[in-house]
Amino acid sequence: MRGGPRVLLTIWAAKLAALALRVTGRAGTHVPGRIARRLHPGIIGAIRHPARVVVVTGTNGKTTVSNLLAEALQGEGMRVASNRSGSNLAAGVAMTLIDAVTWTGRSRADVAVLEMDERSAKLILPGLVPDILVCTNLTRDSIKRNAHPDYIAWVISSALPASTTLVLNADDLIASSIGSDANPRTHFAVDRLPTDGDTPHGAAVDAAICPVCDAPLVWDYWRFNHIGRAHCPNGDFRSPTAAYRAQQVDGPNRRVVLDLDGDARPATLINPNIVNVYNEVAVAAVLDRLGIARERLVSAFDRLQPPTTRFQEETVGGVELVRLLTKGLVGVACSRAFEYLASFSGRKAVVLNIDEVSERTTDVENTAWTYDADYDYLATSDVQQIVVGESAATTRRCGSRSRACRRSASSRWRRSSPRPTRSTSRARRRCSTCTACTTRSSPAPRCRRACASG
Ligand SMILES: [Zn+2]
């Protein structure tokens, strides 16, 4: 078998670790994956791969695109290995590949669809050598973690094998040019929309000058951030031409025309949010590159649904409720959510739950991300109410007695010093009049110090 006895021992150890986790009622791929990488750091390259390997990366949309791809390929009757519920770091990818082989190391999947964290490219791509890499976009992410999208483009490019075919977003001035001249590539795009402008505005535009001569770019149309089509006035740069394009996007009727390399076909629009229009055309491009018949490719969108982890919609008592989850501490992701909310007609109330959990353990709360968000989208007369508060997760934690919740409660106390004694802290959590805490007993005892009424 590929890699020899060390690979086999690594596979057994990881599978046994995963089995032990399941027996004890715990899920997860990270720990077995880490064990595998500890035993064999090159396991991603050494293990037997499915016949086709597709990697999906990018700042936003990689979970949606990889889930849709996996589902579409399963619909084609293929056995698909995918880390859709697992980690997209090297350990998660390693464990997904281990899950896709038997105890003797034989592959039992036809294709692997692997979501990859952009910053893990150097740990994953050289060994994996994917047939296809999709990059959905590269926009600003958490600045503490990902720095600038140009840096992330460099991280991916420097790890890309020359044989990997790239499927790139032509409308993204940064993501569209990753890789080297050796990489075969094709592009996808969304044709000009009525809402597009001629000149960029907003808080975050990360590509505005020609990469060759530094002249300010001229925009054919501008959509958001550095997404749109642009060219250099001196003629030495132009956004690439897309072979796969979404045209005639009809949000209310959920219809779109997918131009598959010159072959235009009407299709169901899985979701009218612009980020999901990009996701759909990216999926169409990959399926076409994998040789799926175009009739079946297009009809697959009749049944595909974007994952509900980041988007949910329901009507309650005649009121339409839309829940959008954006990446924590990422202003440009908030802008897309605001833009989508602005596209709804009628009176709106917006509830912004801010993630306070991510930085709970740090001494300094970094609020820089909020300046990247375009709140202008909410400054319209139909937005009648905006409610801002911390995330429900934080509140729930505060109300329970778990270890994590005590930390959360104490961090809130730190901000409203003096630090409480243990007995005061316990009293506050159980207080019936403090708005910051939930109570579990009724009637609850009142705080001795925290409440004026106590
Ligand atoms: Zn130029």
Tens-place pLDDT, residues 284-318: 999 999 999 999 999 999 999 887 667 788 899 98
What string of DSSP letters covers 117-186?
A: -GGGHHHHHHHH--SEEEE-------HHHH--HHHHHHHHHHH--TTPEEEEETTBTTGGG-S-TTS-EE
Place of tokens 């990889």: 66
Mean pLDDT for all residues in the chain: 84
Q: Is residue 309 part of a domain?
A: no
Give residue 255 CA to ligand 1 midpoint distance, Å.
38
Has residue 406 got a pLDDT over 60?
no
**Beta-carbon neighbours within 5 Å of ion ligand 1:** 210, 212-213, 215, 232, 234, 236
Q: Is residue 311 part of a domain?
A: no
In terms of domains, do 325 and 448 share one? no
Reference 183, options 133, 146, 143; nearest CA is 133
The count of domains in the chain is 3
In terms of domains, do 91 and 233 share one? yes
The domain in which residue 368 lies consists of: 317-390
Q: What is the 8-class DSSP label of residue 355?
A: -
Helix (H, G, I), strand (E, B) or coil at 318: coil
Give residue 38 CA to ligand 1 midpoint distance, Å.
47
Give residue 208 CA to ligand 1 midpoint distance, Å.
11
In terms of domains, do 405 and 386 share one? no
Give residue 214 CA to ligand 1 midpoint distance, Å.
6
In terms of domains, do 140 and 77 share one? yes
In terms of domains, do 220 and 78 share one? yes
Domain end among 302, 327, 342: 302
In terms of domains, do 135 and 233 share one? yes
Instruction: Show the tokens assigned to 170.
Output: 């032509």
Give residue 417 CA to ligand 1 midpoint distance, Å.
56
Has residue 439 got a pLDDT over 60?
no
Q: Is residue 308 part of a domain?
A: no
Q: Is residue 22 part of a domain?
A: yes
What pTM was computed for the model?
A: 0.79
Q: Is residue 451 part of a domain?
A: yes
Has residue 90 got a pLDDT over 60?
yes
pLDDT in tens, 324-361: 888 778 888 888 889 888 888 899 999 998 876 766 77
pLDDT in tens, 147-206: 889 999 999 999 999 999 999 999 999 999 999 999 999 999 999 999 999 988 877 888
Give residue 235 CA to ligand 1 midpoint distance, Å.
6
Q: Is residue 310 part of a domain?
A: no
Within its chain, how far is the Cα of 70 from the centroid?
Answer: 16
